[in-house]
Amino acid sequence: MNVRRVGDVSHLPTAAFGHPTPQWWGLIGMIAIEGTIFALCIASYFYIRLQVAAWPPRPIAMPELLPGTVNTALILLGLWPMRVVERHALKYEREAVMRYLLLFLCQVAIILVIRFYEFLAFDVKWDTNAYGSIVWITLFFHSLHILTSFMEKAVLLAYVTLRGLDEKRALHLQLNRVYWDFVAGSWVVIYGVFYFGPLMLN
């Protein structure tokens, strides 16, 4: 009778984080897809510019900078609590994770309120012309990312509060930090193009 030798793997870690996990690579794939959508929106923005004599098309006014600038600052500020959440999550420090997740959720709630005023700041409706359509659809897609991030972290906060912080949830929190990096980075590009593009493309 043949006896199979089995290796002792008790010394191996029971959890993994970062790029060794399939979840991390799944998120990177999703970011690549979503990033391509934003790239296509920006390319469409420049293409539409080539079709008109003035930018924005007359009589549409230049976008108002205040709402977008405030939101840009808040979105970038959100990078800090998410990094703190990740650091405490990997140490399974539940109370700190709950505290900073709540702080982040408050920030994102404010961002979503200001985003409403950003739509108004462009002085155009989605069905006015092609310029209005590309501005609104891009803002809509990015707002959807922010809302998704808010809802996912709200669920994670509820789970950690009610059931504690385990390895799986710690990984989810780390991936949420990576996701917010994408949300913030993509917005910096969109903000630069959509708010300052009219100044540079005239």
Gap between the Cα atoms of 86 and 78, Å rounded:
13
Judge whether 111 lies within some domain. Answer: yes
Q: In this structure, what CATH number is given to the domain that contains residue 130?
A: 1.20.120.80
Stated pTM of the model: 0.88
Q: CA 43 → CA 39, 183, 196, distances in Å?
A: 6, 19, 15
Judge whether 1 lies within some domain. Answer: no
Judge whether 126 lies within some domain. Answer: yes
**pLDDT above 80 (res 35):** yes
Judge whether 6 lies within some domain. Answer: no
Judge whether 8 lies within some domain. Answer: no
**pLDDT above 50 (res 154):** yes
- Count the domains in the chain: 1
Judge whether 164 lies within some domain. Answer: yes
Judge whether 45 lies within some domain. Answer: yes
**pLDDT above 70 (res 10):** no
Read off the tokens for 89: 């999550």
pLDDT digits (tens, 9 = 90+) for 166-185: 888 989 999 999 999 999 99
Q: What domain range includes position 52?
A: 22-200
**Are residues 71 and 114 in contact, defined by beta-carbon separation less than 8 angstroms?**
yes
**pLDDT above 70 (res 107):** yes
**Are residues 196 and 159 in contact, defined by beta-carbon separation less than 8 angstroms?**
no
